[in-house]
Structure 1
């Protein structure tokens, strides 16, 4: 038993070492892990988990909560009834918790976590451009003027597609169907860009919606990928415009795009190349939101001037979205954001949640290369 514990504890430092070594060989990870081993593994996991009609991730979260409550009650019982057994219980609990953590982290790294060390998507875009155009550029240059042009373009496309979507009784954008059908239709977006971006093809299980989505809103989370089952999980309680792009975002994680900015960019491309207008509008709204934040930070006057061109319908959607999320602001949301920030930094994303803004860099790179 002691020998087994030692082996389990060793998994953690070995996984850290593996992750460190992987960070030194991004081309190798991209070719043999992301597009090779991991692709096969995730497809298998997602197909197995798709047998269950509910989210295994959600079930696991509630199981952990129930077990934790039971553990606290039992610990308090021992504390007052038998302090000797309580001490033994605490020691064994610490060992067991550390063992579970070591196994969980190791599985995370092996099943999906190494994707954080894959080739950056910006490099992939440049390499693809060089190959197709017989060029040898290493970096794409852009400036504030390019950012202004990008925002102007996104304002026009968002206005244009907003005219085509359905509306509810409050003149707010609504989906062409319910969220269940959105999940079924999402694959079309990836099918349409599989010839543009790598590793988007394959047979994966559909994304799943979270039953307790209203509670999830208090964390500010719109979706989450669960690497242990290959499940892309969606918060179905969010405003309609965000559900299509969120679904594609989590599906991008499923396909090995680990960083948030890359998953956002893939979701954008898949959305605007979808055959259904609710997906297209969702994609442009996603890019518009990130680009507006970037432009506002570097050139507020240009941001203010160009934003006046947004249609009344788009502005109504934005106000409705802000009103929706204002109901869920609080300490839980802040705690969730802090945890997410720590998680990203622990996996080599130095900017933490600020990396979400890097999606704009990918947009600028993409449109500069594909004018």
Structure 2
């Protein structure tokens, strides 16, 4: 067997080894936290950001297009190989390509799915919650949102605007993370700012608001979303950048980090995100209480909620459905067995924080 083929087979053979290792590490979250997430992987993530952080554009986006094009090329040549009696060699090439992507994904970031729960890291109590706890949380968030909303700049439609633009928001979030890092060391580190995705308007049709690229260490944001969601969305992707892989935890970190900001537009973005998730949970739990709480929204907050809802209604369609199915499979593939439903677990972290502080 040629040396080239032996190397390819070794690479392909590493996939089941890493997959089994990932399953084993699922039962060893403290080990992953100590020896991977906060040490080896943190070094890797910061090193990647030293290389890509200074770039004014998203290298991740360009790399994504290249990797997809390369995948298409491998698939096409494999199919053509059926008719030229080269199928086996070209199929091995395709498997090798996919294996390299998987191996790099896991080494550069993927094992973070098995790190210890964020509630343990932050020292939150893990008591069970009742409906009244959720009601009190929502009431608290509504009060905060109303106060912060009164301080926001409005556009001609009476909706919250962010005059400085998304680039300024991304820059200011660095300070928010710096402040959060003083309180919680796991958020500290040297990372680049979030970056806008060039095809954001098209990306909106998928329902995706952002993307973290493990191969470059960049946090990427769909800038086409409502401006008052720029900060919380960027903070979410920057949480992935800091090694927090679970979507529900990244959502909570986005809220928490925005709360550390001294600027009210960033605080509002975080509280708005938390309020959406908490009120959705309240609606599922007790609709009568949900409508009682909703009556407490200020007029400005109501306008922003309607604008956010109307915005996403425009982009609903087949592309979003396909994207959601892919994302669901991706989450389950990384052993988040609830798939996209895991996004709702953010509320447990909000409840834990609220109970510990009130």
Same fold (TM > 0.5): yes
CA RMSD of aligned residues (A): 1.8
Q: 1:277 to 1:365 in 2, by over 3 A?
A: same
Q: Aligned pair 1:44/2:44, yes or no?
A: no
Shift of 1:53: 2.5
Alignment of 1:1-371 (within 5 A): 1-67=4-70, 84-85=83-84, 87-88=85-86, 90-125=87-122, 128=123, 139-371=126-358
Q: What SS does the aligned partner of 1:140 have?
A: coil
Structure 2 Cα separation of the partners of residues 74 and 6 of structure 1: 19
Structure 2 Cα separation of the partners of residues 96 and 6 of structure 1: 10
- Would you say the 8 A contact 2:180–2:188 is kept in 1? no
Q: What SS does the aligned partner of 1:186 have?
A: helix
Structure 2 Cα separation of the partners of residues 176 and 187 of structure 1: 18
Q: 1:117 to 1:71 in 2, by over 3 A?
A: closer
Structure 1 Cα separation of the partners of residues 59 and 21 of structure 2: 28
If the length of structure 1 is used for normalisation, what is the TM-score?
0.91
Q: What SS does the aligned partner of 1:225 have?
A: strand
Shift of 1:32: 1.6
- Would you say the 8 A contact 1:272–1:280 is kept in 2? yes
If the length of structure 2 is used for normalisation, what is the TM-score?
0.94
Q: 1:134 is matched with which residue?
A: none
State the number of aligned residues.
355
- Would you say the 8 A contact 1:176–1:278 is kept in 2? no
Structure 1: gaps of 5 or more residues: 130-136
Shift of 1:196: 3.2
Shift of 1:50: 2.2
Deviations 1:280-300, CA, capped at 9 Å, x for gaps:
110110000000000000111
